[in-house]
Amino acid sequence: MLSRFTDSINEKQLFEPHQKVLLAVSGGIDSMVLLNLFEKSGLNYGVVHCNFQLRGEDSDKDEQFVREAVLQHGVPAFFQTFETEEHARLNGVSIEMAARELRYEYFEEIRIKNQYDFIATAHHQDDLLETFFLNLSRKTGIRGLTGIKEKSGNLIRPLLFASRREIEDFARANFIEFREDYTNSEVVYQRNFIRHKILPLFQKMNPAFKKNLLASMEHLKETEEVYSFSMNRWQKNVVSTIDGNIEIQISALLNLPFPKILLYEILIRYNFNPKVTGQVFQSIENESGKQFYSPTHRLVKDREKLFVIELPKEEKRIYYIEKDDIELFEPFDLAIEKNENRNFEISRNPNVACLDFDQLDFPLLIRRWKQGDYFQPLGMSGFKKLSDFFIDEKLPLHEKENTWLLCSGQQIVWVMGHRIDNRFKITPQTRQVLKIEIREY
Amino acid sequence: MLSRFTDSINEKQLFEPHQKVLLAVSGGIDSMVLLNLFEKSGLNYGVVHCNFQLRGEDSDKDEQFVREAVLQHGVPAFFQTFETEEHARLNGVSIEMAARELRYEYFEEIRIKNQYDFIATAHHQDDLLETFFLNLSRKTGIRGLTGIKEKSGNLIRPLLFASRREIEDFARANFIEFREDYTNSEVVYQRNFIRHKILPLFQKMNPAFKKNLLASMEHLKETEEVYSFSMNRWQKNVVSTIDGNIEIQISALLNLPFPKILLYEILIRYNFNPKVTGQVFQSIENESGKQFYSPTHRLVKDREKLFVIELPKEEKRIYYIEKDDIELFEPFDLAIEKNENRNFEISRNPNVACLDFDQLDFPLLIRRWKQGDYFQPLGMSGFKKLSDFFIDEKLPLHEKENTWLLCSGQQIVWVMGHRIDNRFKITPQTRQVLKIEIREY
């Protein structure tokens, strides 16, 4: 294992012997094995640990465990505690997204301050396989199926040559201590499901499965590189940045071989979802002045150009629910189902909205509320400003700030987690019910 | 279902109402539903059925069943019986490959003779999903993961809009009779395994799984189109055909952005496997005069060019076994395993070869025997011509003609299914044993 580790570093040219590497160590088995391999190889390294405070006392024990381990090795170590849930709330992102943002921002800060050349994480082969299937179970493109790279920018993954089994064997043989990770998020649940239920079945069907899949992922990676290369080259012919705004030349775009795919690749950078990009493309040859929104940008269709303009901060982050979506992961976990209005039981849970499907105009939008928003609260005949509604409901400031709205066109459908709009409620005339449940705000 | 069927034909522009379509009807549920939908829609169609004689009496009953069905509808129908096993033997391909070759060749012949515009097969959505996983469990590239197209050339798949469940429901509701397919090949076994064991697990993990995967496959299809477009354009800069031979300009190739991937895409058309292409690429800048083989072509490396020359018929079809392969599907089903030579029991089965791993030079080759071949049969100290060996063994002509050899460089290792070579046998000095078993010749 040790020689395969150093061979792999040389072969993949991850870093030079004189370079300094900052190891991301959680205290789990993978990162403790990584630490041990760096120590045994006499490499120049330091350790960084993030305490995300997501598992109460366990998080603190993890930190303490890593502190003791690095003390033994006598290497530089950096520790940081984060208010992860708070960060997630304030930025309207999932807990996982928040932890990821905080982690990599902090890693990079420590790396630069302390002159490390690379940051190393302990991802291994089975992580690759599990991520492949995790992405496959959601909608994904080729980039979700190519796995992570051994080296990208300042980030390296020196354990990608090893399987989980090999890491476990090495830990056992070398008496490496580690902390069990009891995190119980949806992603961890799905990863475990893939690891323990799905992968063994594939192995049973074909013993060469893992090896074949890793080889296939390598092929896909090559294909992705060719694809991205072509896309980038074509983009240069149609996109220009003027005064910080992006301009896309419509005629130049339409003269290229894959205009729709290219437009998709251009607009995804500004967070436009594929459905909206499809609508932009449909209108590209006729109407002018039409506007389209992403969570962060507005697109205006002019006669000869598409202009992409960044939204002011308070307007940012818009998400879409399509007619046939059955779940949404961003900005938070939603389950969506369509039911016949026959013996349908309306939920009283404020985290569940039961809406008249035929009154809704798809795609629905999820956005932050802003001053001036108003709606017709369920059971009322008149309209009410949201700011007044919040006062009447005695909402604490941070909850008020972080409230999301579900909208159908310009109309508010649901002040999410609080009250639906009277215009979209279930009536005896309702044929179909759209039921939306907040699984995790 | 009927309206979705006609909508889908229009939306995907599969064919025009006045065009004639030839339906491939096996008698199974999918093709009988396809037939019913064509009949109910009043479309202009005929039927073609192949009897591959692979399931004895059942094959004949299938044919009879289809004959009776078309008689009811009073449409033109074409029937053909094939000696599939014979064809597979003579051409050194698997039974499945043989059936596929025969089928599409015959379809095309009937189509042209009888002036049909398209051939339609009854593939549906679940076929797509199963094929995705079937290919995933082998080594595959993006083309193995993009599914089949609704329309490619003269071939259309008008049932791709429907799931298996929908087809079954439609068959039941409309009292459509069909024949069960009891084929029991490895591929059918794996398809059933995917259908009944693996897909339900994914569905359990994420109820939107099927829908998401189909959407992902659409994305991959687009990526594949961009990739192939770029590859084809670059190929034109480096490949020329002179006197039926292919010439690749080395310097032009190396000046392009992805020379190795491009070379792989060029050579795969001439059946060079990726490993051999890798060797070609490695030698591209130094040695001249080196030769490389595919089952159908020879590549000669010159100073400025690579020449690709078609092999004379009797030399064709060479297959490779790599050091870490554990199975092979072409030219027939092989299981390969490496064992320590400790309590290893040597098999006496002529379809199993137990070989001294360290004596072998990888990749091993599988090729047809030719006049002049000789080897040292197990237990003999001298060499023997293969033609003499066959006479001594009293091999019937067709078996002799169809014998394959396993070779290590120029040396014959195993006259497959008959005798191994004495030089590669297990001895007390053998450390590792390579065991190769013919699962199906």
pLDDT at A313: 65
- pLDDT for residue A184 is more than 60: no
Backbone angles phi, psi at A155, to 5 degrees: -100, 130
Query: Which among A197, A212, A227 has CB closest to B223?
Result: A227
Closest CA to A38 of A56, A22, A57, A52: A22
- pLDDT for residue A396 is more than 80: no
User: Do residue B139 and residue A257 have CB atoms under 8 angstroms apart?
Assistant: no
Q: Which residues contact B88 (CB under 8 A, 6 or more apart)?
A: B94, B95, B97, B98
User: Do residue B142 and residue A219 have CB atoms under 8 angstroms apart?
Assistant: yes
Of residues B177 and B332, the one with the higher pLDDT is B177
Q: Which residues of A touch B326 (CB under 8 A)?
A: 207-208, 211
Q: Which residues contact B401 (CB under 8 A, 6 or more apart)?
A: none
Q: A143 and chain B: CB distance < 8 Å anywhere? A: no
Q: Which residues contact B98 (CB under 8 A, 6 or more apart)?
A: B84, B85, B87, B88, B91
- pLDDT for residue A314 is more than 60: no
CA distance A34 to chain B (A): 27
Buried b (16+ CB within 10 A) or exposed e, A72-104: eeebebbebebebeebbbeebbbbbbbbebbbe
Backbone angles phi, psi at A14, to 5 degrees: -70, -45
CA distance A166 to chain B (A): 18
pLDDT single digits (tens) B97-149: 788 888 888 999 999 999 999 999 999 999 999 989 988 888 888 888 887 78
Q: Which residues of B touch A257 (CB under 8 A)?
A: 226, 229
Q: Does the annotation list B30 as a binding residue?
A: yes
Distance CA A183, CA A59 (A): 10
Q: What is the ipTM of this complex?
A: 0.71
User: Do residue A139 and residue B201 have CB atoms under 8 angstroms apart?
Assistant: no
Scan for tokens 């593939």, then name that residue.
B123
CA distance B208 to chain A (A): 7
Q: Which residues of A touch B205 (CB under 8 A)?
A: 137, 190, 193-194, 198
Over residues B238-267, the mean pLDDT reads 91
Q: Which residues contact A436 (CB under 8 A, 6 or more apart)?
A: A321, A334, A335, A336, A352, A353, A355, A406, A414
Q: Phi/psi zone of residue B187: left (φ > 0), alpha (ψ -120 to 50 degrees), beta?
A: alpha
Nearest CA in chain B to A256: B226
* Residue B210 near residue B216 (C-beta atoms within 8 A): no
Q: Which residues of A touch B437 (CB under 8 A)?
A: none
Over residues A8-22, the mean pLDDT reads 91
Of residues B287 and B381, the one with the higher pLDDT is B381
User: Do residue B144 and residue A230 have CB atoms under 8 angstroms apart?
Assistant: no
CA distance B390 to chain A (A): 36
Mutate to test the interface with B, among A134, A225, A227, A263 (most CBs of B within 10 A): A227
Q: What three-state secondary structure class fits B434?
A: strand
Distance CA B437, CA A145 (A): 34
- pLDDT for residue B258 is more than 60: yes
Q: Which residues of A touch B321 (CB under 8 A)?
A: none
pLDDT at B289: 75
Strand stretches in B369-418, DSSP E: 374-375, 384-385, 404-408, 411-415
CA-angle at B3, arms to B76 and B23, nearest 5°? 25
pLDDT at A153: 87
pLDDT at B21: 95
- pLDDT for residue B166 is more than 90: yes
Q: Which residues contact B418 (CB under 8 A, 6 or more apart)?
A: B350, B389, B393, B395, B403
pLDDT band, very low/low/confident/very high, at A420 (cuts 50, 70, 90): very high
Binding annotation of A for ATP: 26-31
pLDDT band, very low/low/confident/very high, at B320 (cuts 50, 70, 90): confident
Over residues A162-185, the mean pLDDT reads 87
Q: How many beta-carbon pairs under 8 angstroms link A with B?
A: 127
Q: B197 and chain A: CB distance < 8 Å anywhere? A: yes
Distance CA B412, CA B404 (A): 10
User: Do residue B224 and residue A223 have CB atoms under 8 angstroms apart?
Assistant: yes
Burial of B55 (C-beta count, 10 Å sphere; 0-12/13-18/19+): middle
pLDDT single digits (tens) A22-66: 999 999 999 999 999 999 999 999 999 999 888 888 889 999 999
A24 bridge partner residues = A48
Q: B2 and chain A: CB distance < 8 Å anywhere? A: no
Q: Which domains does chain B have, with CATH numbers?
A: 2-218 (3.40.50.620), 243-313 (3.30.465), 318-440 (3.50.40.10)
pLDDT band, very low/low/confident/very high, at A187 (cuts 50, 70, 90): low
User: Which residues 222-241 of A have a C-beta within 8 angstroms of B?
Assistant: 222-227, 229-231
- pLDDT for residue B334 is more than 70: yes
Distance CA A421, CA A366 (A): 14
Query: Which among A141, A197, A216 has CB closest to B136?
Result: A216
User: Which residues 250-269 of A have a C-beta within 8 angstroms of B?
Assistant: 257-258, 261
CA distance B326 to chain A (A): 7
Q: Which residues of B touch A216 (CB under 8 A)?
A: 136, 139-141, 144-145
* Residue A239 near residue A232 (C-beta atoms within 8 A): no
Mutate to test the interface with B, among A128, A130, A136 (most CBs of B within 10 A): A136
Of residues B377 and A272, the one with the higher pLDDT is B377
CA A50 to chain centroid, in Å, comes to 19
Query: Which among A139, A211, A213 has CB closest to B136?
Result: A213
Distance CA B36, CA B49 (A): 16
pLDDT band, very low/low/confident/very high, at A435 (cuts 50, 70, 90): very high
pLDDT at B182: 67
Counting residues of chain A whose pLDDT is more than 70, the rounded percentage is 95
Q: Does the annotation list B46 as a binding residue?
A: no
CA distance A233 to chain B (A): 11
Q: How many CA atoms lie within 13 A of A340 on its CB side?
A: 2
Scan for tokens 């189109």, then name that residue.
B225
Strands B432-440 and B352-356: antiparallel
User: Do residue B216 and residue A326 have CB atoms under 8 angstroms apart?
Assistant: no
Scan for tokens 């399987």, then name that residue.
A163
CA distance A415 to chain B (A): 26
Prior bond of A331 cis (ω within 30°): yes
pLDDT single digits (tens) A253-277: 999 999 999 999 999 888 887 878 8
**Residue B83 to residues A72, B51, B99, Cα–Cα distance (Å):** 74, 9, 9
Counting residues of chain B whose pLDDT is more than 70, the rounded percentage is 95
User: Do residue A142 and residue B219 have CB atoms under 8 angstroms apart?
Assistant: yes
Give me B76's structure tokens: 């033109």
Q: Which residues of B touch A226 (CB under 8 A)?
A: 227, 230-231, 257-258, 261
Burial of B145 (C-beta count, 10 Å sphere; 0-12/13-18/19+): buried
Strands A245-249 and A291-293: unpaired
Order of all β-strands in the sheet with A327-328 = A327-328, A333-340, A432-440, A352-356
